[in-house]
Structure 1
Amino acid sequence: MCGSDLHYYRAENDGTPAESRCIGGHEPAGVVESLGPGVNGARLSVGQRVMVHHYSGCGTCMNCRSGWTQMCTSAPAKVYGKNAHGAHAQYMAVPAACVLPLPDELSFCAGAAIGCGTGTGWGALERLGEVGGLDLVVFGQGPVGLSTTMLATARGARVIAVDPSASRLEQASKFGAADTVNPDSVDPVEAIRELTAGAGAAAAVETSGATVAATAALDALANWGRLCAVGLGGTIAFDVRTFLSRQVTAMTSWSMSSVQQMACADFVARRNLPVDDLFSHHWSLDEAVPAYEEFDKQSAGKAAFVF
């Protein structure tokens, strides 16, 4: 279960017509049950452990061929769990090109997380470029933010984690954050500058989707600093006069390519990173109603349907 699943869950509760709905879930991992006609049996086999890149495009345009099927230029991409049936069901049918090998060292829950939440953190770091040795601040310590903290630390960054929740900041420290900042207690921009000897952060990732966090992330950047925004819902705006002389860069990142998803899974497996520790709840499919009701509170960690 991913936070963005809640957008569709809440829309359905608002009276969205039944004919426009689909099965939710865009972070699948599991076992190949069967292969359709023409599927390359040399690459995929029944019983194989796999994860899914949850977008499907034409397969032939340059974006699709490079693994960015969500950016297909030939036709609107299918997004499983949004406009095509997703993974909150016993079975899921997807094109073979969407199916990726899951390293044996990883659990199905870890593979599912890498399919979006953890993979989104990886994609943001890829957009920022080399982060080893840099002061990097991560705004928001939900599942995506915690994943970013974990991955950035493993890639050599000194991570400063920002979140108003004390429990999430505690988890961020367990995942390697060098310092934590609670914006309800201190001015986050001033705190970040104090932690960086007045320079500011060389890089920032904004995962919360809150405009106030995005604004603080920009203000906390050092000269030549780079901000990558992945949280949905916020607005980033700035006065050119204020930022012109600081040479900052602001960018977005849309999850990750299928190539990056495999790279992230291999990295997590090789470094033995504790992605499973992101999960606070596990549910069965017949518990879907209470699962979504609990998840809608957004007061816990990541959740998964397991069967």
Structure 2
Amino acid sequence: MRIQAALVESVGGPFTLRDVDIDEPRPDEILVRIRAAGICHTDLGTREVWPRLPMVFGHEGAGVVEAVGSAVTTVAPGDTVCLSYRSCATCDNCTSSRSAYCQAGIHTLNATGTRPDHSTPLSRDGSPVFGSFFGQSSFATHALAYESNCVKIPAGLDPVLAAPLGCGVQTGAGTVLNVLQPAAGSSLVVFGAGSVGLSAVMAAVAEGSSVVAVDPVASRRAMAQDLGAVATLDPEDLDDVATALHEITQGGAHHAIDTTGRSAVISQAIVALRRRGTLALVGIGKTAEFDIMTVMTKGIQLRGVIEGDAVPRTFIPHLIALHEQGRLPVEKLITRYPFSDIEAAARAAASGEVIKPVLTFS
């Protein structure tokens, strides 16, 4: 089947629309016509270093099922779906509602550019095109997904609102609701007010927490306040962010979330916590240096989090319910772009001009 996809054809190169061919679904695969796809910083960061080219990224897809393989039972042609990360569904973690930590690994099922058997469902002029990113590669008019990452949603839900639920919103809101579970009235500091951080702000405000957002971009700080943050800080205007946060939170925050993956920011977050506080590490990074004695003597808990500890088939419907109640106004984060403008949308996201660009498909 001939489709259109946004290919990255060189390391760090632009997204370029090309015609490619996609396989018919295998027994365990689901063919989805994409109606909207969010752009995540994981897509942007990964294309800067991805070695297997050409490649189709995209892991926040939403659309309509067009065909299913013979073994698929959870969705049918015509169903409206939201796509998320892929898991094996059979290991101990998957069967105990911890699929974000699937034993098959986020890398094996989501970030190799191929299916687990090393085949790719995409090709161009007979040559392989790498894909299967997060079990979808949704920067395309059609994608092949799986039961573990294909969640049926209400047909009337705007796909532009649904798409970011599959990763960015799920990660930020899930870190609050599934991991930190802050008590009403407790304090939470969010470092980095992009789509993940602001989703955490929304969820924490909905839970009755007192939220402070730290970000150097004025428009993002303004959005955090609009979403209910009690205060925001520009770290570039302060000599000591942690001291300022201790004053605002009256002795240190109960919880903190780092979405940046930066060592210096993680160190600030640790110091900003009160005794027995918890820091959730959400941002992708390689290494971090911090004062171990501070962590030990204050009894700080460090918690790594993937995908908000969320099981998509149950958590995405929960996020939709929160949105319907007005407690998760995802639409405030979104800027719409036609699929043909994907590179402009990517540049706007990378520069901080927009928070969550979502591609629309005619």
Would you call these one fold, judging by a TM-score over 0.5? yes
1:53 paired residue number:
84
Q: Which SS does the other structure have where 1:34 is aligned?
A: strand
1:151 aligns with 2:203: yes
Q: Confirm or deny that 1:63 pairs with 2:93.
A: yes
Following TM superposition, by how much is the alpha carbon of 1:108 offset from its aligned partner in structure 2, in angstroms? 1.4
- Separation in structure 1 between the aligned mates of residue 302 and residue 55 of structure 2, nearest angstrom: 34
Equivalenced residues, count = 297
TM-score normalised over the length of structure 1 = 0.88
Aligned partners of 1:135 and 1:157 also within 8 Å:
yes
Shift of 1:191: 1.2
In 2 relative to 1, CA 290–181 (structure 1 residues): closer, same or farther, beyond 3 Å? closer
For the residue of structure 1 that corresponds to 2:306, the secondary structure is coil
The equivalent of 1:178 in structure 2 is 230
Q: 1:296 to 1:131 in 2, by over 3 A?
A: same
Q: CA deviation at 1:141?
A: 0.5
Identity of aligned residues (%): 30
Structure 2 gaps, min length 5:
1-38, 115-131
Instruction: Give yes or no for the alignment of 1:195 onto 2:226.
Output: no
TM-score normalised by length of structure 2? 0.75
Distance between the aligned counterparts of 1:22 and 1:54, measured in 2? 17
Helix, strand or coil at the partner of 1:54: coil
Q: CA RMSD in A?
A: 2.3
Shift of 1:70: 4.5
**Match of 2:144, SS?**
coil
Q: Does 1:278 align with 2:308?
A: no
- Aligned-pair CA distance for 1:74: 4.8
1:90: which partner in 2? Answer: 141
For structure 1, which segment, 234-243 or 2-11, has the greater mean C-alpha deviation from structure 2 after superposition? 234-243
Letter in 2 for 1:39: V
| Structure 1 runs not aligned, ≥5 long | none
Shift of 1:137: 0.6
Counterpart of 1:123 (choices 174, 177, 188) is 174
The CA deviation string for residues 247-277 of structure 1, in whole angstroms up to 9 with x for no partner, is 1111110013223333333333334521011
**2:153 is aligned with 1:108:** no
- Of 207-216 and 255-264, deviating more is 255-264
1:4 maps to 42
Tell which deviates more after alignment, 243-252 or 254-263.
Answer: 254-263
The one-letter code matched in structure 1 to 2:184 is G
CA distance in 1 between counterparts of 2:180 and 2:281 reads 10
Residue 56 of structure 2 is matched in structure 1 by 23
Counterpart amino acid of residue 315 in structure 2: Q
Counterpart in 2 of 1:302? 356
Distance 2:160 2:152 in 1: 14
